[in-house]
Amino acid sequence: MKDSKLINYSTQDFSTESDMLITLHNWQDKKEKFLPKLKSKGLLRHAIMRVWNRDGSFRLGHIFEYKDENAYKNCQPIWQEIEKQHKSKVPIKIFANRGIVLEDNILV
């Protein structure tokens, strides 16, 4: 598919709400530096959401939309730089899923 986009949906599970909020705060402080770099490499969209349908859990969901597989690969060194600079002292379980968009119904 010529216009296919690569989507990565990742979740982060935290032990406590304060661990989750600290991680969000740290990203807010740094995102203006990194988002333009990621955009130049092909990141089209990044969204963060609080997953609320799991009682007693503290989970964030991240949607990363890339122009294509090459854009995804080109952004990886930047994400690795971010991870190095922002090593968290709180335990986080991360689960990543990647796929190519086959159907996209925008109902605006």
Instruction: Give pLDDT tens digits along the chain (108 positions).
Output: 456 689 999 999 999 999 999 999 989 988 999 999 999 999 999 999 999 887 788 999 999 999 999 999 999 999 998 888 766 677 888 898 888 888 888 888
Q: Helix, strand, or coil here: 45?
A: strand
Q: Which CATH class is domain 6-100?
A: alpha beta
Q: What is the pLDDT of residue 88?
A: 64
Q: What is the pLDDT of residue 106?
A: 84
What is the pTM (predicted TM-score) of this model? Answer: 0.83
Q: How many CB atoms lie within 10 A of CB 88?
A: 13
Which structure tokens are listed for 88? 């968290």
Domain residue spans of the chain: 6-100
